[in-house]
Structure 1
Amino acid sequence: MWFSVAGMVLGALIVHAWWLETYTDSPLARSWRRMSAAWSPTRNAQSVLRPCTGLMLVFGGVGVVLEQVGGPTPLLTLFAFLALLFLVIGVVYLLPLPLPRFADARYQHLKRHGLLDATGRPLPDDVINRILAQREGHPFS
């Protein structure tokens, strides 16, 4: 049972780190981005597999703890289903599928910094690099 609790805590930390990397520009998020760039081979693994792994650990851990304390079978089945669902989603996204925008850290970064066109598509890379270079030269922009 203690391994399940440890898995839930680890899963929650994985989801929290993914959320920080995807949706914030905090110093901790920048640090996590640098560390995770060396760990994950693809953007899909970074953007989808990590939160799916974390959620699988959380739901699986809750299911095991509920089983140990005698939880009702429908609740155990629900948590087992959710854990397996996130496992399947994570494995499927190892294939080169397009990322959903809510999970794509690059898209979210461009969105936060106003680097999307009117239709919501990222600007061309040369335009993005030029804009970011201009902003670095002006500390208050």
Structure 2
Amino acid sequence: MWSGFGCIIFGCLLIHAWWFETYTDSALASAWRRMSAALSPTRNAQAILRPCVGLMFLGAGLGMLLQKIGAPTFLWYSFGAAGLLALVVGVVYLLPFPLPRFADPYYQYLKRHGLLDATGRPLPDEVINRILAERGGDTF
């Protein structure tokens, strides 16, 4: 039963770290971005694999707890299968597919700081670098 609780807590922490890193500019998010850049081989691994692994742990933990309390087999099996499906999606995104905008931390950073054009596409890199330099060294 403790392993179920551990999986749920670890999964929630992974999802929380991904959310902070993707959608906020806090000091904690900046630290996680630096650590992720050093540990993750690709941007896709950082942006998609982390929440998918978190969802896998969350689904597996819920499935384990439901099994221990005597829930119907289809219920706990469904949570486990959903967790495995999340992991498969994360592994597929290790291939060089374009990231969806909701999960791309760079795109979300540009969106938060008004560095998108009228159509929602990022401005050219030289314009972004000039604007960020004018703002006083604000970097991603």
CA–CA separation in structure 2 for the residues paired with 1:35 and 1:95: 22
Post-superposition Cα deviations, 1:49-85, rounded to whole Å, max 9, x if no partner, equal 0000001000111001111111112311320221111
Q: Distance in 2 between matches of 1:134 and 1:3?
A: 50
* Partner AA of 1:12 in structure 2: C
Q: CA deviation at 1:96?
A: 0.6
Number of residues paired by the alignment? 137
Letter in 1 for 2:4: S
Return structure 1 stretches of 4+ with deviation > 3 angstroms: none
State TM-score, norm by structure 1: 0.93
Equivalent-residue separation in structure 2 for 1:128 and 1:94 (angstroms):
27
Counterpart position of 1:72: 72
Taking structure 2 as the reference length, the TM-score comes to 0.94
SS in 2 for 1:136: coil
Partner amino acid, structure 1, of 2:10: L
Alignment deviations for residues 85-110 of structure 1 (CA, whole Å, 9 cap, x no partner) = 10110110010100000000000000
Moved more, 28-37 or 102-111: 28-37
- SS of residue in 2 equivalent to 1:130: helix
Q: Which runs of 5+ in 1 are unaligned?
A: none
Q: Give the % identical residues.
A: 66
